[in-house]
Structure 1
Amino acid sequence: MTAQTRAFATHSATEPLGLFSFVRRDPRAEDVAIDILFCGVCHTDIHHSRDDWGRANYPMVPGHEIVGRVTEVGAGVSRFKVGDLVGVGCMVDSCQHCGPCGKGWEQYCDSGSTFTYNGVDRQDGSPTYGGYSERIVVSQNFVLKVPENLDPAAAAPLLCAGVTSFSPLKHWNVGPGSKVGVVGLGGLGHMALKLAKAMGAGVTLFTRSPGKEADARALGADHIVLSTHPDQMTAATNQFDLIVDTVPYAHDLNPYVPTLAVGGTIVLVGYLGPVEPALNTSPMVLKRKSVAGSLIGGIAETQEMLDFCGQHGITADIEMIKIQDINAAYERVLKSDVKYRFVIDMASLKEGA
């Protein structure tokens, strides 16, 4: 039967998140019902809540880094059973028949993937509400198996931060002998360091902050380059096969292009918008260097990432919070005051507002 569901939501771009109640749909034949245990807090949650990208639909229940236990399955579900530890990431549906979907790239669906929150259900037109809630109902095709050997709270950020870092590393064939740079040490950056190191790459962190060296090395960095230090940047010339740029705001990419090896690529995973200042194409044309972008990962790739993390014991470094502290957590994220991902213990919803 339909389930009254408690959550935290915002009702406008300027309103804090607070207690909200809505009805989750009954599971359809292909659906999995999940009791949410933990939900990560992504910078995207803040952007959407505050309508930074101009696409907000209110009321909004954010959250797309979800880990929980299956409580019910539809009659047509074959991949999951009650009690399974599962995850839900940024998407809950896509057309599943276009070219990108056929390649397992549901995130690039020609008609637009259906996002876990701030979206519209393709079948009944209802709004999608995310993981800052007690439970969720999702098609089995968009539910992931979470390895039981991983801490479920620390595994939650893998559903976005993890796969956002993993996808470009896989696409650009990172492996033993690869040289990978990571720009920025936050939720995405710390996962990129861990994953690239586990793939066998030599890993370098680019940072503006001298005090991050010890943390970066503990996370897997072999080298640290201060991007504000001209001599260190010059010494890094022609080195990197791939640079994963995790910075979430407009910044100058030009100083990083010379650090790429011939044929190397800078991939942007944290920032959406125009590049400022303008990109000088000369060093790109002369040495076949590229600037690219990457968005999360497809469902099969997300499962591959989770399995890889299970095999290597990789999870996010997290700070656990209660849902009642979410508004303060948002302010701390904006100040980069978290190492490196907030995760909400959804049991705290039982405590009310």
Structure 2
Amino acid sequence: MKSLRRIILLLVLWLTLSPASAQPHYWTWCHFSPRTDWEDYFTRLTQTGIRGIILQSGPEGFEKVIPVAKRHGVTVYAWVWVLNNGGIAYLHPEWLDYNRNGESLRDKQAYVAYYKFLSPIIPGVRKAIAEGIERTAAVEGLDGISMDYCRYVDQILPTTLWAQYGIVQDKEYAEWDYGYHPEMLKAFEAKYGYDPSKAEDPSQDSVWLQFRLDQVTEVADMVGEIAHRHGMAISASPFPTPSMARRMVRQDWGKWKLDVAFPMIYQGFYNGDTTWIADCVRECVAAKPETMICCGLHVPDFYSGGRDGKPTLTEAMEAAVEAGARGIAFFTFDAMTEPMREEVRRFIEAHPFEGE
């Protein structure tokens, strides 16, 4: 009996001290701007019921925003771009990734100019990322780290974006298949005894795929270890589900050690409906039962909600919560119209997740 009480006591203590305990259930991504009236911003945010922000900023922005956020009872996570890192790439362009054709991002752009993805296997890349995370984690008052772009270049874009780039991606094409940095190929051959790039169709090599996935997972868990060492929560904004993320961007986030996940379940990019949203949430919850899943919703997708069969914001939130999401993350609060903010306020009032 005493041993049982001891186990229960330890469990309660672990839950109390866990970085993921007592996290907000409603969030928004936001960018720092010195022109923003942060007192006004947090007043409007908390009136809506949102109590967490994922803030993209430098040190000066955090120093300005965090004290105001704390006065309003708002949790602040740092929004960090991990492997798509232009600052590191500028100093070390030789670390930029290669596609299956042997083309480096240093020489050939993939989709957009700001795609500066680094090869996750290079020790210097990991060291530089770790140093940046350490600096961010040292910011006083910060509650967590939220990883973004912890992946490779998109192997397959959402279908709604194909026309924008004048492409069709009905299968895995070499031009968009990344993770072929010479150091990655060298490390794989040293372990498995062959060069996967020499195969007739490397996309069929599951060992090669998993090897690349594992390098990103190691980087994600490195970032998480730093966050936890500083007493912070670790979270990420991954692609909609673990299976979609593996296929589309070589991101095996179902294996990451996360306290909170904000999967980007942006149905407008996939011509999805509320059933699609619910299915995505169910997969996330099943894959990550130990992680708090907050369904990411793309606010502009709901400007035409309720017309032409498109879901309203309320319908999307209801589908996510009924499927098992323990919260919602909005991209973004700033993008909401006043009627949308009232819609969110009413929903949060009706779904407070009390007792968690």
TM-score, with structure 2 as normaliser: 0.28
TM-score, with structure 1 as normaliser: 0.28
Which structure has greater strand proportion? 1
Which structure has greater helix proportion? 2
